[in-house]
Structure 1
Amino acid sequence: MKMGELIQWYVERKNEPSNVDGLLDFIQQLYIHGTIPIQEYRTLFREIDKLGAEKPEYYFEKQVSV
């Protein structure tokens, strides 16, 4: 899956991505639900990471305190 296909799929399911962080969340959901294989997830993750995607700071605080 190419980045353009990912964005189109996101638009069809959710709406326009407000930023690359939304795409990061979306590919993580796709991977967790078994919609995309790990190889595709890694490829897309690298592309999205290069664009500056990151999880919000509170996400990591929740993980530590759990």
Structure 2
Amino acid sequence: MLNELLDAFEMEHKFAPQTIDNLLDYCQKKYIHGEIDLKTYRAFYNCLHEKGAVSAHEMSIEKKV
């Protein structure tokens, strides 16, 4: 499943994501822009989160606390 997201990232950016966090941010961007539906987003999010990914949004919240 993540291979699809990884392939899309690499095709769009012409390079591989440096971290799994970058892949999560990319997934969130795709969802916000309506390029993937909520069910797909949740599946990607859960899989990436299980692997330790943290979004830039979550990091910015942690810094404020």
Q: Shorter-chain TM-score: which interval?
A: 0.7 to 0.9
User: 5+ residue gaps in structure 1?
Assistant: none
CA distance in 2 between counterparts of 1:20 and 1:55 reads 9
Alpha carbon RMSD of aligned pairs, Å?
1.6
Quote the residue 2:7 is aligned against: 8
Query: Please, what TM-score do these two structures have when normalized by structure 1?
Result: 0.82
Shift of 1:27: 0.5
In the alignment of these two chains, the number of paired residues is 61
In terms of Rg, which structure is larger?
1
Residue identity in the other structure for 1:12: M
Q: Deviations over 1:5-44 (max 9, x none)?
A: 1101100111201111001100000000000000000000
Q: Percent identity?
A: 31
Three-state SS of the structure 2 residue aligned to 1:49 is helix
Query: Please, what TM-score do these two structures have when normalized by structure 2?
Result: 0.83
